[in-house]
Structure 1
Amino acid sequence: MIRNGLSRISLPAIVSSSSTAVSSLLDSTFPSYRTPTRFEPASVVDALDVDCQPPSKVAAEPTVLQPRVVIYDGVCHLCHRGVKWIIKKDKDKKIKFCCVQSKTAEPYLRLCHVDREDVLKRFLFVEGPGAYYEGSTAALKVASYLPFPYSALSAMLILPAPLRDAAYDYVAKHRYNWFGKEDECIVMQEKDLLERFIDMHELLDNGGGASD
């Protein structure tokens, strides 16, 4: 008898009755609860308080900095020779470059808590977040990314930094007198190298001149 009685009760009726009961219980227990009946995109957006306004100019600017970037004195002939040498040996194009005279360099300088004058004394190698080096240590860190045998130069990191930097600083102090300098970034004289520069577009727009 019971079996026959159940067979006469349709499944949709049971589901509908159960849903109504659950909904009533939730309404009485949680007055703010509303049983969802269908997916409503507009309601979801409102609930999340998503700002649908066009992004501001500031928000549209890139915020991700690139790793393994050499920031150097772009008007220095000795520095430019060093950059050319690295580009020639760095077949895998691991290292990128940026003239310290460019505005593109500014986020990197802020990240490393240095200014342009610091970089004019000792070039900067930004390896990644929280990892940056100056002077002789920067040079040897860059060498570590080059193919063998040039990567073996990084073994000189075992030498005391004050000793290495003393030699570096002496050459850096006299580099303009010994090797000369230009009024604009020297890479503009060899534009085939620009593909390795993160400030390429800025240099092309400004003609290689230093930014204010």
Structure 2
Amino acid sequence: MNESSVPRIPSGQAVIVFDGICVLCNGWVKFLLRHDHAGCYRFAAMQGASGRALLQAHGLDPDDPSSFLLVDAHGMHTDSDAIVRVLTGLGGGWKLAALTKVVPRALRDTLYRAVARRRYRWFGTTSCTVPTPAQRARFLD
């Protein structure tokens, strides 16, 4: 993969790479579209060219659907740290999500991985979220 295939992230924004066929993951994206009033987060399905390129550029397997990646001005974040960082980035009462950091990361990530392994079975699969015309600019692919 060449450097030019990795999407550039605009200043002040972050990109979330998510599993585009997972019902739970698509629900997460819809939740963020509703609650990210500042429009800080952009989205890339791991099945798309941008999502795959970002995963590979950060040393993650683009064929591992349990991957969850947040890339922001502070670097890359995965698993429970990424989720907490996204939630606190929403501001307001969502900043309370930072309290979960009192739980050791190893335990938080174990729980994250347990849900990630079972999410297709528990929630099912679907096609990628189809953004409205107003939301389209928030998606990389």
TM-score (norm 2): 0.84
2:72 aligned residue: 127
**Contact 2:15–2:42 (CA<8 Å) still a contact in 1?**
yes
Q: By percentage of residues, which structure has more strand?
A: 2
Report the equivalent of 1:150.
Answer: 94
- Given that 2:5 and 2:50 are in contact with CA atoms closer than 8 Å, whether structure 1 keeps it comes out as no
Which residue of 1 is the match for residue 53 of structure 2? 107
Shift of 1:196: 1.5
Structure 2 counterpart of 1:85, one-letter code: F
Cα deviation for residue 114 of structure 1 reads 1.3
| Pair member with larger Rg | 1
* Alignment partners' CA distance in 2, 1:121 and 1:73: 8
Report how far residue 63 of structure 1 moved: 6.5
CA distance in 2, matches of 1:65, 1:115: 20
Gaps in structure 1 of 5+ consecutive residues? 1-57, 200-212
What residue number does 2:23 align with? 77
- The residue identity in structure 1 corresponding to 2:41 is I
| Amino acid aligned to 1:127 | D
Q: Counterpart of 1:195?
A: 137
Contact 1:65/1:108 (<8 A) preserved? no
Q: State the distance in 2 between where 1:68 and 1:117 align.
A: 22
Unaligned 5+ segments in structure 2 are none
* Greater RCO (CA < 8 Å, at least 6 residues apart): 2
Aligned to 2:8: 65
Q: Using the alignment, how far apart are the partners of 2:6 and 2:17 within structure 1?
A: 18
Given that 1:122 and 1:169 are in contact with CA atoms closer than 8 Å, whether structure 2 keeps it comes out as no
% same residue: 27
- Normalized per residue, the structure richer in helix is 1
Q: What TM-score do you get using the length of structure 1 for normalisation?
A: 0.58
Hey, what's the Cα distance between the residues in 1 that align with 2:87 and 2:22?
20
Q: How does 1:174-189 map to 2 (within 5 A)?
A: 174-182=118-126, 184-185=127-128, 187-188=129-130
Aligned residue type for 1:92: A
- 1:113-162 CA deviation, whole Å, 9 max, x = no partner? 112134x1131111136x11111111001112102101221231232111
Q: Note if contact 2:69-2:82 (Cα within 8 Å) is conserved in structure 1.
A: yes
RMSD across aligned positions (CA): 2.1
Aligned residues: 135
